[in-house]
Structure 1
Amino acid sequence: MHLDGNALAGPLGEIFAVDITAAVGRCANCGMKGPVATLRVYDAGPGLVARCPRCEEVVLRLVRGPQEAWLDLRGTVSLRIPLQ
């Protein structure tokens, strides 16, 4: 069972000053491009894991502690962030 990438809006909103779910990323495994909102997000662990909707590879990991957050984007080749 997974959520869509919109589940990342709140947690990533604490880190970034823009709505990161509107950013377009590219999967490092299959090359698919799409908005962060289209990722499949799994929240059963201690953090959030976002997978590519095409190939299911992990593209983003986010774990938040009381004083800091760890963001792993190694499954993402690039992230194009729209600026207002």
Structure 2
Amino acid sequence: MRAENAASVVDGNAAAGMLWDVFDADVTALVGVCGGCGDASPVAAAVVELDETAAIVRCRACTHTLFTVLRDGDGTRLVLGMLHEIVRP
């Protein structure tokens, strides 16, 4: 049986709604560059741990946390991790 607040492991497309709340745009096609390993991949290809309140977006190559999106009573916020830069493809 799955815990009530258990996270799902999905790709970056599943976090599109939470990311829209931060950027007011679809950013899943943008390319994120990992500060840990240098991998450059679309946000849509990232590995995401997702639940009702958070999306932890990880580099698909080295699993460093690129950024985290958090929802709480005050809104949605972005916490940067190893994301070195984000560029248009």
Quick check: TM above 0.5? Answer: yes
Class of the TM-score when normalised by the shorter of the 2 chains? 0.7 to 0.9
Instruction: Tell whether the 8 Å contact from 2:58 to 2:66 is kept in structure 1 after alignment.
Output: yes
- Give the RMSD, CA atoms, in angstroms: 1.8
Length-normalised TM-score, structure 1 = 0.85
Count of residues paired in the alignment: 82
Structure 1 counterpart SS, 2:23: coil
Q: Tell me: CA distance 1:23–1:4, structure 2 relative to 1, closer, same or farther (3 Å).
A: same
User: Does structure 1 residue 55 correspond to structure 2 residue 62?
Assistant: yes
Unmatched 5+ stretches in structure 2:
1-7
**Residues 5-20 of structure 1: pairs in structure 2 closer than 5 A:** 5-20=12-27
Shift of 1:73: 2.1
Length-normalised TM-score, structure 2 = 0.80
Choose which of 13, 34, 46 in structure 2 pairs with 1:39: 46
Higher normalized strand content (fraction of residues)? 2
Shift of 1:4: 0.3
